[in-house]
């Protein structure tokens, strides 16, 4: 059966056009927990007895009023009857899951189709051979949300004395689970475009788009590029080629312009498939201390974020995303990090249109034994663990999928391959050597690759400083150490570390990718006290003084755009409160302070222009 697996290889975002069909299967699905993992045995692949109705996309957790359900860890099922139309005949038919947290197996009409691991990236199940056309088909998905050290994001799953399982994340965000992103029913031609990529050369007078189209079909390829008014400005033929645009309008930071690339496959002169997408003409480079977009230096202002909101947990919600982007524009931000996992594709489409730069992060988080402190006495390095080989396979797999999925977005500035790994022991070096070698050629644009360095991984202690193309520093003086009235010592310590970078021969930019103070909205105190809105501003002022004194600091992204949910614990009051905005997206006092600063800093800050 020619090409069936091609569909599963493709991560192109679904579209409807004359050749392709895309139907969203969002809405209510039947849902049921399966604590004894007996679903298959009990015939749940063909329907659930006494199901709960569950919205999709959503995390199941916060809908429940009882704690056992909210904290549920193990297998659970989603089932939906899906009508598959007759006119899909002759096409490849698939189910595309935007995100199933963390591992899933898909069944259609009782037949097992495929499994997938990784709760923050899409996958397609090719169901062509299992569907009944012109009828309702039963789609069943078994999901498992356990955390393990050999999986991303890393954690443990423990069993309580009462027999209930509990997720123990090695990371600071709630283990929201379920079908967190849309499910699509898609139909595409048997001979199809399964991927494409572009690289750019740009100047004010001319831009060249070098493109590559991937198809297994013996077909002719035609490509065109249209401007925002719909005028075709360049055409080319062949599966690789160049589109040359005279007097181009470049994609600029906070001043985006998108062209539409249209790819057609032709057999004997007849079009058999077409795929269109919006792209931006721009280049990205790191040169010395500078981050360059279209050969011009940019200074990053923005945030670390989370996909997190009330009720639906980690579900992608266009409404929240719209609000977040408006908040970012209002405050003068131009960038964010998709901490700590790749976000829904629609977030990147938004950012493409708004001219926002994204550091795209793979869900490699929790790779640090200190983060597993509840286990007690674990003094080994995370990378000495016997789970590392298995973890690496999943890690590089997800790096591959993230880059494959997101490479064509003009908004993607860089790839973050890990958050706060334990890099102060030598055992991290072989792991990172492999990670950086194996990912070197994945992005045709060769965008910069990096990872964030935790507080313990300093200029002196980290063994992995040679790997990143630029540095992301997560630093918490004034909060996790040297806090309150001691903050002046925190500032001195930060300056001492930065002086070491300054006096070294490292010639790469540093972006501060995390710093901040938990802040209870509405708590005011003069003089300030930790947790008050005044203290959050004082901490930001301290960091900003430091940023302004070092030329090689080329970006500031405080933690976090908004408050977000975490596990309960003695360090968290209903979640992490380091948001500059509350969880319902209203400003804390710090938002007005940052807005003033960021709107007065030019994009080219520190470049002398």
The full 3-state SS of 350-409, as one line of letters, equals: HHHHHCCEEEEECCCECCCHHHHHHHCCCCCCHHHCCCHHHHHHHHHHHHHHHHHHHCCC
Nearest CA among 564, 531, 34, 544 for reference residue 309: 564
Judging by beta carbons within 10 Å of its beta carbon (0-12, 13-18, 19+), is residue 570 exposed, middle or buried?
exposed
Nearest CA among 523, 545, 547, 542 for reference residue 533: 523
Min separation Cβ 42 and ligand BDP, Å: 38
Min separation Cβ 436 and ligand BDP, Å: 20
- The DSSP secondary-structure symbol of 459 reads T
**Is-contact 541 564, C-beta < 8 A?**
no
**Is-contact 193 265, C-beta < 8 A?**
yes
Question: From CA 159, how far away is CA 147, in angstroms rounded?
Answer: 12
Residue 6: which residues within 8 A CB-CB, separation 6 or more? 92, 192, 194, 216
Q: Which is nearer to ligand BDP, 194 or 415 (CB)?
A: 415
List beta partners, residue 328. Answer: none
Q: Which is nearer to ligand BDP, 180 or 576 (CB)?
A: 576
Residue 174: which residues within 8 A CB-CB, separation 6 or more? 61, 308, 313, 314, 564, 565, 566, 567, 575
Min separation Cβ 192 and ligand BDP, Å: 39
Q: Which is nearer to ligand BDP, 32 or 149 (CB)?
A: 149
Residue nearest to ligand BDP according to CB distances in the complex? 172
Min separation Cβ 537 and ligand BDP, Å: 17
Joined tokens for residue 398? 């997800």
**Is-contact 450 491, C-beta < 8 A?**
no
Min separation Cβ 369 and ligand BDP, Å: 14
Kindly list the catalytic residues: 420, 514
Min separation Cβ 304 and ligand BDP, Å: 7
**Is-contact 316 181, C-beta < 8 A?**
yes
Joined tokens for residue 26? 């969002």
Q: Which is nearer to ligand BDP, 308 or 534 (CB)?
A: 308
| Alpha-carbon distances of 606 from 94, 297, 299, rounded to whole Å | 50, 9, 8
Question: From CA 359, how far away is CA 499, in angstroms rounded?
Answer: 26
Q: Which is nearer to ligand BDP, 105 or 576 (CB)?
A: 576
Q: Which is nearer to ligand BDP, 172 or 191 (CB)?
A: 172
Q: Which is nearer to ligand BDP, 370 or 378 (CB)?
A: 370
Question: From CA 85, how far away is CA 87, in angstroms rounded?
Answer: 5
Helix (H) or strand (E) holding 183: strand 183-188
Residue 544: which residues within 8 A CB-CB, separation 6 or more? 556, 597
Min separation Cβ 578 and ligand BDP, Å: 5
**Is-contact 79 30, C-beta < 8 A?**
yes
Q: Which is nearer to ligand BDP, 451 or 501 (CB)?
A: 451
Joined tokens for residue 509? 């930019």
**Is-contact 23 185, C-beta < 8 A?**
yes
Min separation Cβ 345 and ligand BDP, Å: 23
Which residues contact ligand BDP by CB under 6 A?
171-172, 340, 419-420, 454, 474, 514, 559, 576, 578
Residue 375 CB: number of other CB atoms within 10 A? Answer: 11
Q: Which is nearer to ligand BDP, 325 or 473 (CB)?
A: 473
List beta partners, residue 264. Answer: 222, 274
Min separation Cβ 458 and ligand BDP, Å: 14
């Amino acid at each position: 059966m020619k090409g069936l697996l091609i569909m599963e290889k493709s991560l192109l975002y679904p579209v409807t056009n004359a050749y392709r069909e895309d139907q969203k299967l969002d809405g209510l699905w039947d849902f049921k927990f399966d604590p004894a993992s007996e679903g298959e045995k009990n015939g749940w692949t063909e329907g659930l007895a006494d199901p709960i109705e569950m919205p999709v996309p959503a995390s199941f957790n916060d809908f429940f009023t009882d704690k056992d359900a909210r904290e549920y860890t193990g297998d659970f099922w989603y089932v939906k009857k899906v009508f598959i139309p007759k006119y899909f005949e002759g096409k490849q038919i698939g189910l595309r899951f935007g995100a199933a947290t963390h591992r899933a197996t898909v069944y259609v009409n009782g037949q097992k189709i495929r499994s997938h691991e990784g709760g923050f990236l899409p996958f397609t199940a090719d169901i062509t051979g299992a569907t009944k056309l012109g009828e309702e088909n039963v789609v069943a998905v078994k999901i498992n949300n356990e955390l393990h050290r050999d999986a991303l994001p890393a954690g443990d799953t423990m069993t309580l004395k009462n027999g209930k399982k509990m997720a123990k994340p090695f990371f600071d965000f709630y283990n929201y689970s379920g079908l967190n992103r849309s499910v699509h029913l898609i139909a595409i031609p048997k001979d199809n475009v399964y991927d494409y990529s572009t690289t750019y050369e740009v100047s004010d007078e001319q831009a060249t788009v070098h493109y590559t189209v991937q198809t297994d079909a013996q077909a002719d390829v035609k490509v065109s590029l249209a401007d925002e008014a719909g005028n075709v400005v360049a055409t080319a033929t062949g599966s690789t080629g160049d589109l040359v645009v005279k007097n181009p309008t470049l994609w600029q930071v906070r001043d985006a312009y998108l062209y539409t690339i249209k790819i057609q496959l032709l057999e004997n002169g007849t079009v058999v498939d077409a795929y269109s997408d919006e792209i931006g003409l721009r280049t990205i480079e790191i040169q010395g201390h500078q981050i360059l977009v279209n050969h011009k230096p940019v200074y990053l202002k923005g945030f670390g974020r989370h996909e997190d909101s009330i009720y639906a947990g980690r579900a992608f919600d266009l409404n929240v995303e719209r609000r977040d982007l408006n908040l970012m524009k209002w405050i003068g931000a131009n960038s964010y990090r998709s901490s700590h996992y790749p976000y829904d594709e629609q977030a990147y489409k938004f950012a493409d249109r708004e001219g926002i730069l994204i550091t795209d992060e793979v869900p490699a988080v929790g790779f640090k034994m200190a983060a597993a402190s509840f286990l007690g006495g674990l003094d080994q390095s995370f990378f000495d663990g016997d789970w590392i080989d298995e973890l690496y396979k999943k890690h590089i797999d997800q790096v591959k999928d993230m880059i494959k999925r997101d490479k064509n977005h003009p908004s993607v500035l860089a790839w973050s391959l890990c958050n706060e790994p334990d890099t102060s022991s030598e055992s991290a070096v072989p792991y990172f050597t492999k990670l950086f070698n194996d990912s070197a050629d994945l992005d045709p644009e060769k965008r910069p690759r990096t990872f964030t360095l935790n507080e313990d991984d300093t200029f002196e202690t980290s063994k992995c400083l040679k790997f990143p193309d630029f540095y992301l520093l997560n630093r918490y003086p004034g909060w996790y150490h040297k806090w309150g009235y001691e903050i002046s010592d925190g500032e001195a310590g930060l300056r001492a570390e930065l002086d070491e970078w300054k006096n070294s021969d490292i010639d790469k930019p540093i972006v501060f990718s995390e710093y901040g103070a938990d802040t209870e909205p509405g708590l005011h105190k003069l003089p300030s006290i930790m947790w008050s809105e005044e203290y959050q501003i004082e901490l930001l002022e301290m960091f900003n003084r430091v940023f302004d004194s070092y030329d090689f600091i080329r970006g500031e992204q405080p933690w976090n755009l908004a408050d977000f949910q975490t596990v309960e614990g003695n360090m968290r009051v209903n979640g992490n409160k380091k948001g500059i905005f509350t969880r319902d997206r209203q400003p804390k006092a710090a938002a007005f302070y940052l807005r003033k600063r960021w709107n007065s800093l030019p994009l080219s800050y520190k470049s002398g222009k």
